[in-house]
Structure 1
Amino acid sequence: MRHPDLHRLVDYALTLPGATEHHPWGEYAIKVKGKSFVFLSGGRSGKACAITAKLPESGDAVLSVHAFASPAGYNLGKSGWVSAEFPEHEDAPVDLLKGWIDESYRAIAPKAKKSR
């Protein structure tokens, strides 16, 4: 059984313009124009909710305020990616994590070209 908040976050990420769902390594990679902007998974146990997002604006504050947040592995933390995991019996702060998804999307999505 998957964490109930996992699918709420996946569904939300897929509402963003151009977002597509992919499944590398058995987790969700939500992409825009072929670039991942958020990774979501059931966690290592298959029962937790885990998220990794690029937070160039709020990352430092998130890491200093929220004990559940940590720099992402694979040296992604150096580039502003932040991870968090929530056990099955614990509600994930869905509204906060939707904000992470929005910020990560804005950081990764191609910028609209201005017309003259």
Structure 2
Amino acid sequence: MSGKTDALVAELRAFGLAFPGAHRKAPWPDHDDLAVNDKTFAYLPAMGSERFMLSVKLPYTGPAALDLPFAVPTGYGLGRSGWVSFMPTEDEMPALDQWREWLEESYRAQAPKRLVKELDARG
């Protein structure tokens, strides 16, 4: 990944870790994922990975996201549950706000209701 995409990963990780109860989860050496109550809500690459890839659970916007040329249903059967994997080139990279929306949707899909209420109370 370039320094630009490493910076994006750092920004997305910081954004996701600000959600109530969010924590890091690193089940594989090339991942540094985000979870809530030990349920992953974002599969992120580790810093310095060769390729940018983000997988999130999108129960509402997943079908539209899959229309993007760099999006595919997540492997290992997760795609059947609404997970989408994004592998854009640097030229295809969506805006930061779009990444944040997808992360929040995924967090809300995986977090317990009490933590979603806490997030909503923050405004």
Q: What TM-score results when the alignment is normalised by the length of structure 1?
A: 0.84
- Following TM superposition, the consecutive aligned residue runs of length 4 or more in structure 1 with deviations greater than 6 angstroms are none
Match of 2:19 in 1: 16
CA distance in 1, matches of 2:39, 2:98: 22
**Which of 2, 5, 8 is the equivalent residue of 1:5?**
8
| Superposition map of 1:1-116 within 5 A | 3=5, 4-26=7-29, 27-42=31-46, 46-64=49-67, 66-87=68-89, 89-90=90-91, 92-93=93-94, 94-112=96-114
What SS does structure 2 have at the residue aligned with 1:77? helix
1:49 CA drift (Å)? 1.9
Q: What runs of 5+ residues in structure 1 fail to find an aligned partner?
A: none
Query: Larger strand proportion, structure 1 or 2?
Result: 1
Query: Larger helix proportion, structure 1 or 2?
Result: 2
Instruction: Report the identity percentage.
Output: 38
Q: What TM-score results when the alignment is normalised by the length of structure 2?
A: 0.79
Q: What runs of 5+ residues in structure 2 fail to find an aligned partner?
A: 118-123
CA distance in 2, matches of 1:103, 1:75: 20
Which amino acid is 1:73 matched to? G
